[in-house]
Amino acid sequence: MPETPKPSDLTKPGAAQSGPSAQERGRTVMADGVVEKIAGMAAREVPGIHALGSGLARTFGAVRDRVPGGRSSVSRGIKAEVGEKQTAIDIALVVEYGVVIPELAAAVRRNIILAVERMTGLEVVEVNIAVNDVHLPDEPDEEEGETPSSERRARVQ
């Protein structure tokens, strides 16, 4: 009967090469939320993104963020379907006025694919992007609430 390697031996180069590989000794399952968070962070890294999610999702998220003990959702506006080896991602965006939307969508798609594939090992088969709104420079942020009255007066004068 072959001797079982000690845990300290497994970190040495060439250790335990005669048996099955690490992938054959168990499986790793990725939750949808893991992929959604990674995709959310990757999308936010692209300049020109104002927010993620539809208007309703952002409104509920802003309320949830204000609740004591609540935390913001990195994956707001993102839905992932995760299989054993592949994933598909849907994302809803609000873009800043002036960006070239097809170029922005391509950059977001590329960044999400690179981040998800690098971090999870899953193949990203598609990233579907829905641009739901354009944020204009003079619009208040829905998530931040109404512009303070002193700022409104300063702009109107």
Return the domain boundaries, the chain: 29-142
User: What tens digit of pLDDT does each residue of 44-70 get?
Assistant: 999 999 999 975 444 445 554 555 555
Q: Which residue has the higher pLDDT, 133 or 140?
A: 133
**pLDDT at residue 19, as a whole number:** 73
What is the Cα–Cα distance from 61 to 55, expressed in whole angstroms? 10
Q: Which pLDDT value is given to residue 1?
A: 55
Instruction: State yes or no: pLDDT of 103 exceeds 90.
Output: yes
pTM recorded for the entire structure: 0.69
Angle of the 32-44 helix axis to the 101-120 helix axis, nearest 10: 140
The listed CATH number (3.20.20.100, 2.40.50.100, 3.30.70.1350, 3.20.20.70) that belongs to domain 29-142: 3.30.70.1350
Q: What is the pLDDT of residue 8?
A: 57
pLDDT score at 69: 53
Query: Residue 78 in contact with residue 34, Cβ under 8 Å?
Result: no
Instruction: Answer for the pair 36, 75: CB distance below 8 angstroms, yes or no.
Output: yes
Q: What confidence category does residue 157 fall into, taking pLDDT thresholds of 50, 70 and 90?
A: very low
Burial of 21 from C-beta contacts in 10 A (0-12 / 13-18 / 19+): exposed
DSSP state of 98: T
